[in-house]
Amino acid sequence: LETLAEVGIHYDSSEKEVLERPTNEIKLALLIFNLRGGFDKIPNPEGFIRTCLRRRWWEFPRNYNQLLQMFGNSTEWDELFPTS
């Protein structure tokens, strides 16, 4: 799974709210971004990612179920949703 810079979403180093989030949450936000159409559909990816992290959109049943279908029986699931 990719990181923010690898996909072309950049934040100033002072953007602690996003950059200091756990890696799994950033990866989850990127997955939701891509599920919602990515750069083709979302004109402000930085704002989308920030709001997704604030509101934890991956926990919404629709999003969680989509992620479960994509990664449920994989090692990525354990990385995205660590149990400890």
Tell me how many degrees the CA angle 79-74-39 measures, rounded to the nearest 5: 70
Q: CA–CA separation, 49 vs 28, rounded Å?
A: 10
Place of tokens 């602690």: 16
Q: What is the pTM of this model?
A: 0.89
Cα–Cα separations (whole angstroms), residue 69 to 65, 77, 84:
6, 10, 22
Write down the pLDDT at residue 84: 63
Question: For 57-70, how does the pLDDT look when each residue is reduced to its tens digit (9 = 90+)?
Answer: 999 999 999 999 99
One-letter amino acid for residue 61 of the chain: P
Q: CA–CA separation, 5 vs 68, rounded Å?
A: 25
Whether residue 73 is predicted with pLDDT greater than 70 in this model: the reply is yes
Would you tell me how many other CB atoms lie within 10 Å of the CB of residue 8?
10
Question: For 21-66, how does the pLDDT look when each residue is reduced to its tens digit (9 = 90+)?
Answer: 999 999 999 999 999 999 999 999 999 999 999 999 999 999 999 9
